[in-house]
Structure 1
Amino acid sequence: MSTPHAILIALLEKPSSGYDLARRFDRAIGYFWHATHQQIYRELGRMVDAGWVSVIEDDAAAATRKKVYCVLPVGRNEVVRWARETPLDLDSRNVFLLKLRADAVIGPLGLANELERLIGENRARLAVYREIEQRDFGGASLTRGQQIQYAILKAGILTQEMWLAWAAEVRPLVDPAAAQ
């Protein structure tokens, strides 16, 4: 996934100012695609130049001096093209797994503290996902769009649960004290 396409998708969900878009990336979207505020503003400028998005001119936006961006048909077509044509990358670049391989080859590298930090971060993220699940998807009747969003959230929940189970198996290998 590329940052411009993540931004286009977010804007297709809801036209937004750069500030509001950055806040959405900080909260929800950022759990699976990270972009800095600077990247977002830079990409918005590029997308305006490319004709993918435009700035909505309305009285409310003019009063606050906010630029509200919306996706133009060319931008929507770009998302469709990207979604259909871009192959998935199976090489997941997980740095901790690479460090673990180094530990296997070189010998103990003292990865226990880093693993514990990652376990804590993954537990915290799982807790956030569970809160979102309760807050947003507790209703009995969900639209198709909500069902898809919930399916994405469930993928995140299952990923966190699987990673935490894996980390519990690895913990004794990187921290011999944990094995006792």
Structure 2
Amino acid sequence: MSLPHALLTSIAEKPSSGYELARRFDKSIGYFWHATHQQIYRELARMEEHGWVASAEVEGGRAGKKQFHVLAAGKEELRRWVKLSSPPMRLRDEMMVKLRADAAIGPIGLLEEFERRLVLHEEELHNYRLIEERDFNQPDLSRESHLHYLILKAGIAFEESRVQWTKEILAFLRKDEA
């Protein structure tokens, strides 16, 4: 996935200023595709050059505040991109290499880092559950909401598996260090 396609999707959902887009991005797509605010603004300028989005100054807003909306060429680009095959996600986690290093050279003191990571995964899972309870507790969801819920459920499943796996690693490390 590329950042322009993530941004096009977000703007297609709701035309936004760069600042609003960056904030919304942090609260939605940002859960599975990270970008800094600087990257977002730089990409918005490129997308405007390509004719995928247009911006207009917001009346009554701060000077220079622009709102972006998707143009026909941007929608076509999204349609083209969506039809491309996507490779399955491959795990790329530095901690896996650290575990291999631990296996190769002996205990290197990973217990504290895994304890920290367990807390982070539990917090993220808790946040996802709050979103689930707040946004998806009605039985008849619209198509859009149902798709958003399925995306959230993927995040929930990921965090549940990371919590379970991290607890297993912690149990092993604690026993190994005893």
Alpha-carbon distance between aligned partners in 2 of 1:175 and 1:3, rounded to the nearest angstrom: 41
Task: Please tell me whether residue 53 in structure 1 is matched to residue 53 in structure 2.
Answer: yes
Cross-structure match for 2:28? 28
Q: How far, CA to CA, are the matches of 1:74 and 1:170 in structure 2?
A: 49
Matched, 1:98 2:97: yes
Aligned pair in 2 of structure 1 residues 174, 22: CA closer, same or farther (>3 Å)?
A: same
Give the superposition deviation at 1:62: 2.4
Q: CA deviation at 1:87?
A: 2.6
Per-residue deviation, 1:155? 0.7
Residue in 2 that maps onto 1:151: 150
Q: How far, CA to CA, are the matches of 2:19 and 2:7 in structure 1?
A: 12
Q: Residue 62 of structure 1: SS of its match in structure 2?
A: coil
SS in structure 2 at match of 1:119: helix
Supply the distance in 2 between the matched residues of 1:134 and 1:95 (Cα, whole angstroms). 32
Q: Give the root-mean-square deviation of aligned CA atoms.
A: 1.7
Give, as a single letter, the amino acid of the residue that structure 1 aligns with 2:80: R
Deviation of residue 56 (structure 1)? 3.5
Match in the other structure for 2:175: 176
Structure 1 counterpart SS, 2:59: helix
Report the 3-state secondary structure (helix = DSSP H, G, I; strand = E; otherwise coil) of the residue aligned with 1:175. Answer: helix
> Aligned residue for 2:60?
63
Work out the CA distance in 1 between the residues paired with 2:149 and 2:90. 26
Q: Distance in 1 between matches of 2:70 and 2:22?
A: 16
SS at match of 2:54: strand
Deviation at 1:33, TM superposition (A): 1.1
Aligned AA for 1:101?
A: R
Q: Which runs of 5+ in 1 are unaligned?
A: none
In the TM superposition, what is the alpha-carbon distance from 1:128 to its structure 2 partner?
0.7
Q: What is the letter of the counterpart of residue 120 of structure 2?
A: E
Cα–Cα, structure 1 residues 89 and 138, in superposed 2: closer, same or farther, change >3 Å? closer
Where does the alignment leave 5 or more consecutive residues of structure 2 unmatched?
Answer: none
If the length of structure 2 is used for normalisation, what is the TM-score? 0.91
Distance 1:116 1:125 in 2: 15
Partner SS state of residue 91, structure 1: coil
By how many angstroms is 1:99 displaced?
1.4
**Matched residue, 1:17:** 17
Letter in 2 for 1:109: I
Where 2:108 maps in the other structure, the secondary structure is coil
Question: Aligned AA for 1:112?
Answer: L
For residues 41 and 156 of structure 1, the distance between their equivalents in structure 2, rounded to whole angstroms, comes to 26
For 2:55, what is the secondary structure of its paired residue? strand
Indicate how the Cα distance of structure 1 residues 22 and 74 shifts in structure 2: closer, same or farther if over 3 A, else same: same
| Distance of 1:16 and 1:22 partners within structure 2 | 9
**Paired residue for 2:161?**
162
- Deviation sequence 1:34-85 (CA, Å, 0-9, x none): 111100000000100111100135xxx1221420101111111112222221
Per-residue deviation, 1:139: 1.1
How far is 1:176 from its partner? Answer: 3.3
In structure 2, the partner of 1:43 is 43
Displacement after TM superposition at 1:175 (Å): 3.3
